[in-house]
Amino acid sequence: MRATGTALLAAVCLLSACLAAAAAPKPRGSGPGDFGPPQGEPIHAQLTSPPFVPPPIHRNHPAKVIVELEVREVQKEISEGVTYTFWTFGGTVPGSFIRIRQGDTVEFHLKNHPDNKMPHNIDLHGVTGPGGGAASSFTAPGHESQFSFKALNQGIYVYHCATAPVGMHVGNGMYGLMLVEPPEGMKPVDHEYYVMQGDFYTVGRYREHGHQDFDMQKAIDETPTYVVFNGAEGALVGDRALKAKVGETVRLFVGNGGPNMVSSFHVIGEIFDRVRYEGGVHEQENVQTTLIPAGGAVIVEFHLEVPGSYVLVDHSIFRAFNKGALAILKAEGPENKAIYSGKEVDSVYLGDVAANRAAVTEARAAQARGTLTKEQQIKAGEARFTGTCSVCHQGNGEGLPNVFPPLARSDFLMADKQRAIGIVLNGLTGMVTVNGSDFNSVMPPMSQLNDDELANILTFVRNSWGNSGDAVSAEEVKQVRASTKRPEGAAH
Ligand SMILES: [Cu+2]
- What lies within 8 Å, CB to CB, of 387 at 6+ separation is 347, 350, 351, 352, 353, 354, 355
pLDDT confidence tier of residue 352, bands split at 50, 70 and 90: low
- Indicate if the pLDDT at residue 17 is higher than 50: no
Q: Who wins on pLDDT, 174 or 368?
A: 174
- Average pLDDT over every residue of 199-219: 95
* Cβ–Cβ < 8 Å for 87, 122: no
CA of 240 to the centre of ligand 1 (A): 27
Model confidence pLDDT, tens digit, residues 225-274:
999 999 999 999 988 999 999 999 999 999 999 999 999 999 999 999 99
Q: Which one-letter DSSP state was computed for residue 419? A: H
DSSP 3-state of 328 = strand
* Cβ–Cβ < 8 Å for 176, 124: no
Integer Cα distance of 275 and 291 in angstroms? 10
Model confidence pLDDT, tens digit, residues 394-423:
999 999 999 999 999 999 999 999 999 999
The reported pLDDT for the residue numbered 459 is 98
User: What's the pTM value of the predicted model, to 2 decimals?
Assistant: 0.86
CA of 463 to the centre of ligand 1 (A): 49
CA of 316 to the centre of ligand 1 (A): 28
The string of DSSP letters for 162-188 reads: -PSSHHHHHHTT-EEEEEEE-TT----
Model confidence pLDDT, tens digit, residues 372-395:
999 999 999 998 998 789 989 999
Strands (E), 236-370: 242-245, 249-258, 263-268, 272-276, 284-287, 289-292, 296-303, 308-314, 326-332
Alpha carbon dihedral 217, 222, 223, 228, in 10-degree steps, equals 120
- Average pLDDT over every residue of 459-476: 97
* Cβ–Cβ < 8 Å for 156, 179: yes
CA of 119 to the centre of ligand 1 (A): 6
CA of 285 to the centre of ligand 1 (A): 37
CA of 139 to the centre of ligand 1 (A): 9
Beta-bridged to residue 176, according to DSSP, are 159
Shortest CA distance to 158 belongs to which of 184, 187, 196?
Answer: 196
- Average pLDDT over every residue of 156-174: 97
